[in-house]
Structure 1
Amino acid sequence: MTYVIHGATGAQGAPVVAALAAAGKSVTALTRNQDAVVDGARVAAVGYDSVEDLTDAYRGADGVFVHLPMASEEARLAYARNIVAAVRAARPARVVFSTSGAPADPDAGTATAVVISGLAGRGVSHAVIEPTLYLENLLMPFVLDAIRERGALPYPIRADFPVSWASHLDIADVALALFDRPDVTGVVSVGQYPAVTGRGLAEAFGSRFGKDVAFEPITPEQMRALAAPLIGEGPAADVMALYQAMSTLPHHSIAPENSAQKLVGITPRTTGQWLTDINL
């Protein structure tokens, strides 16, 4: 059985590759770097900009894990159309798509929506993973440095704002389960439930670091300024817009009825468990 993993050297794809390889599966790691070496996988230099290359990569696959890379929305729309065209042509046995935190709304007109609507009705078995916010966001230097130096966890949400945080490790666990569960289709939400507040995050980091840590709300604009040197001005502006929109919501929690807990029996890690697993 062969599984094709997009972004195999990145934050989302690498844990999926590792989990599949640990399970003894045959893995093809897709990366734009033809010189990359990925433990437990065959590497193929395939990007998102060629329908022909994607089709060749997907053909005969038992499973494909795909997510859209960080890029302009114009580029992402083109990539989304190419992915859908390649799936239609190659017809892999199963496709698992992660929204990477974007809403799983097939009518939104976004690149994410193009993939979701494009997979539907094509006769290809598929499921959509819908995370909320990634715990890995808390590994950004300006967050960790503040925790270590000031005992403060800065983030652009209210201290009492509940979020169903998930890690990339959780996404990998759910992706593996979905490859083995073709009966599970549609959207599978991945995240902690009940949702966790900013104060709860700070407590988990405090326990791990053995010190008092207080949650420190910052503005989306402050987040943009802090993130821009790390991810670029364009992506940082997109991040700012995300948190500005989120600030109008009462919560950012998953619904239990379409959760990974209910649909595939996987409970995402607590913040403390995740910190232990990544050995921070």
Structure 2
Amino acid sequence: MTYMIHGATGAQGAPVVAALTAAGKPVTALTRNAGTVVDGARVLAVDYSSAADLTGAYRGAEGVFVHLPVAPEEERLAFARNIVAAVREARPARVVASTSGGLVSTDGDKGRGDSTESAVSVLAAGLADSGVSHAVIEPRFYLENLLLPNVIASVREEGVLRYSLPSGFRASWASHLDIADAVTVLFERRDVTGAVFVGQYPAISGEDLAEAFSTRLGRTVTYEATDPHIFFAPLAPMLGEEATTAIADMYRAVGTQPDHSITAERSAQKLLGMTPRTASQWLAGLDL
């Protein structure tokens, strides 16, 4: 039996493929293009638009990793329902999903879970009702967001880390590599079900991130808060206006909260014995 990994060439899926193949696990990379080559993995052309195709891919799988792409919410809702239908029909041995920053649990999290009609909530609820062994990873913000061209350019050229969170605002950042580590463990740890929070705890601020960049680059980097709609505007040609606006609105709403921290009770630190990379550890692995 194999492990089915969605988005196997993307930011979240590729590290999962690498982690599983390094562990000697059989991997099938699920991509939209049958001609894609993924090192160490069989490639199967399938996406979230067909419940029937998903069912065929999931049947007999040892594990399935799913996460919803950036798209208009109506499309994401359809994808979530297709995934749930396929899981119920195919009944793979284990499913691990990532919310990609969406919140579906309000356990100790100040009631900030997404609405019951959001795509990630539909996905999480559907998996919970499927009777299939599953876990849902809930990250907050990705450190890789700091490598966006408009972010890293200002760090290099001006010594300024600009991001769309208020100064002093603390959040539990995580790397895509941390998500991949958690997915790999969760495929084995079937005793762990429901939400698993992945991110730094205690949470850190933009100023802390700037300090980590200062240490890595050997020169002073300061933090500067930027309005979310201004910050994310350059992504509109790639993501579309609707998706870009939704992301900016989410950041603006999050920034009005006291923080965006995970809680210890459902953390990977407690549930899996894992410690996410610090910003400095993450930066140490990059060629800046």
TM-score band by shorter chain is over 0.9
> 2:187 aligned to 163, 179, 193, which one?
179
Q: Does 1:126 align with 2:134?
A: yes
Report the counterpart of residue 116 of structure 1 in structure 2. Answer: 124
Q: Is the 8 A contact 1:106 1:114 kept in 2?
A: no
Match of 1:221 in 2: 229
Q: Kindly tell me: are residues 218 and 106 of structure 1, through their superposed partners in 2, closer, same or farther at Cα, counting changes over 3 Å?
A: closer
1:33, distance to aligned residue in structure 2 (A) = 1.2
Letter in 2 for 1:99: T
Equivalent position to 1:250, from 258, 261, 268? 258
CA deviation digits over 1:86-115, x for unaligned, max 9?
000000000001000001148521111111
Contact 2:135 2:194 in 1 (8 A): yes
Partner of 1:158: 166
In structure 2, distance between residues paired with 1:149 and 1:106: 37
Question: Whole-Å Cα distance in 1 between the matches of residues 157 and 96 of structure 2?
Answer: 40
SS at match of 1:130: strand
Q: Which moved more, 1:178-187 or 1:217-226?
A: 217-226
Give the aligned partner of residue 57 of structure 1.
57
* Bigger mean CA offset, 224-233 vs 61-70: 224-233
- 1:193 equivalent in alignment to 2:201: yes
- Structure 1: 5+ residue stretches without partners: none
| 1:155–1:218 CA contact under 8 A, matched in 2 | yes
What percent identity do the matched residue pairs reach? Answer: 61
* Conservation of the 8 A alpha-carbon contact between 2:136 and 2:196: yes
SS in structure 1 of the partner of residue 24 of structure 2: coil
Contact 1:106-1:117 within 8 A present in 2 as well:
no
Structure 1 residue 279: deviation in Å?
A: 3.5
TM-score by length of 1: 0.97
Q: Distance in 2 between matches of 1:82 and 1:16?
A: 22
**Most deviating of 116-125 and 89-98:** 116-125
The separation in 1 between residues aligned to 2:235 and 2:224, in whole angstroms, is 16
* Counterparts of 2:69 and 2:139, CA distance in 1: 15
**Residue 233 of structure 2 aligns to which amino acid in structure 1?**
A
Which sections of structure 2, spanning at least 5 residues, go unmatched?
A: 105-112
| Counterpart position of 1:7 | 7
Shift of residue 67, structure 1, vs aligned partner: 0.4
What is the CA deviation profile of residues 14-36 of structure 1, one whole-angstrom value per residue up to 9, with x for unaligned ones? 00000000000000000001110
- What SS does structure 2 have at the residue aligned with 1:120? helix
Distance apart, 1:230 and its partner CA: 4.6
SS for the counterpart of 2:173 is coil
* Structure-2 separation of matches of 1:225 and 1:47: 28
Rounded Cα–Cα distance in structure 2 between residues aligned with 1:100 and 1:186: 15
RMSD: 1.2
AA matched with 1:44: L
| Structure 1 segments (4+ residues) deviating >4 Å | none
Question: Once structures 1 and 2 are overlaid, which stretch shifts more, 226-235 or 166-175?
Answer: 226-235
Aligned-residue offset at 1:68:
0.5
Q: Normalising by structure 2, what TM-score?
A: 0.95
Distance in 2 between the 1:214 and 1:153 partners?
A: 6
- 1:192-221 per-residue CA deviation (whole Å, 9 max, x = no partner) reads 011010100000011111110000111112
